[in-house]
Amino acid sequence: MKTLIAILVAAAPLYSYPLDGAQRTGIRRLAGYQKFMKLPQGATQSGDLIKLHLTGEVNLDVRDPYLQSGLDRMFATRDPSYNIAVLDITDPAKPAYASIRADQKRIPGSVGKLLVATGVFGALQRKFPNDTAARERYLKETIITADSFVHRDGKTVPFYEPGAAKITNRRLEIGDKFSFYEWLDHMLSQSSNAAGSQVWKNLMLLYNPDAFSKQTSKKDLAALSLESIETALKASALDTTKLRIGTFFTSGGSNVVPGTASYASPNELLKLLIRIEQGRLVDPWSSLEMKRLMYFARPRYRYASSPALEKAMVYFKSGSLFECKPEPGFPCAQYKGNALNLMHSVAIVESNGKNYLVAMMSNVLKLNSALEHQKIATEIEALIQKRPR
């Protein structure tokens, strides 16, 4: 009987809050990264440089001839499973759009953690509608203790106390304590599945403090898990028939809260990035906080690891899911599945005077998709840099 090996790799180490945000947020590892980590030039910029760039509407029904022809050439000889949407916002008054099969939906993997974060900001806006300082204090001062929802996740997260001689990386365990800000950071910076499930559980508790009482049915928990995220997405004018995370990231979470289908398309993910840049992802404060959390102030990988982006400020999320089945002569390897090989990248890039958004999904079997996304990032950067103003 053939065996099927399925491995979920939502994302290797990726982005973080700007390093100089340690004191404001209380995210302790940022101080450690300032002290011990050597990062690309573009990953070490001040948080004061992180700004939102769009104010008006964006029309995704009109394609820019230069960008469209460039994408068509770029993907003409690549696998037809690629789906991509690109928006050049260098001139905020005249955004330029191009895409290839960008309405096709796929399982989003860890890109869906951006939706959980959106839900958190939506819940904070409900709790403190006119007080962003209170929202910030809540994230910084609320301490969450890890419970069974963190089980089981193979990824590690950084543990650091100011003044310590080193950063320690290990798996999250029951009893670990972090602020809400730090849990968000672990969910996004390390793409920790354990943190993703813990954050989602506490988001549900923001909506209903009695959500996990014995009186709450499984059906009601499932409904609340979606409501806690989709309320904020709908309020941000995002289409939840095209964008959903429906299942917890760990078995510890999904054993308690029944799941449902998860899906996303490049166009709807691009719209999420647009809402951030417009200040419309929940509201302007939430949009800017999301962008700060997406700032890639860590050793880079996949799309963001392109050498062409070494000096660029990159705001990034990635996710992957690969499956391998026995095949003579084919060695199963990470990001090279022969049964399934999903790789997704979303990025806001600010590079050499050009600002642009990318949402890309693919399922190219047997190919190292992490390396291929890096190559595509290099080509897209060249395409944007050569685009006439």
User: Given pLDDT bands bounded at 50, 70 and 90, which one contains residue 297?
Assistant: confident
Q: What is the mean pLDDT of residues 183-203?
A: 96
> Per-residue pLDDT tens for 84-119?
999 999 999 999 999 999 999 999 999 999 999 999
Fold that domain 5-386 belongs to in CATH: Beta-lactamase (3.40.710)
Residue 2: pLDDT above 80? no
Q: What is the pTM of this model?
A: 0.93
Residue 22: pLDDT above 80? yes
Residue 324: pLDDT above 50? yes
The answer to whether the CB of 369 falls within 8 A of the CB of 361 is no
Q: What is the pLDDT of residue 17?
A: 62
> Per-residue pLDDT tens for 230-287?
999 999 999 999 999 999 999 999 999 999 999 999 999 999 999 999 999 999 999 9
Q: What is the mean pLDDT of residues 26-48?
A: 88
Tell me the average pLDDT of the chain.
Answer: 92
**How large a percentage of the chain has pLDDT more than 90?**
82
Residue 148: pLDDT above 70? yes
Residue 15: pLDDT above 50? no
Tell me how far apart the alpha carbons of residues 235 and 281 are, in angstroms, rounded to a whole number: 8
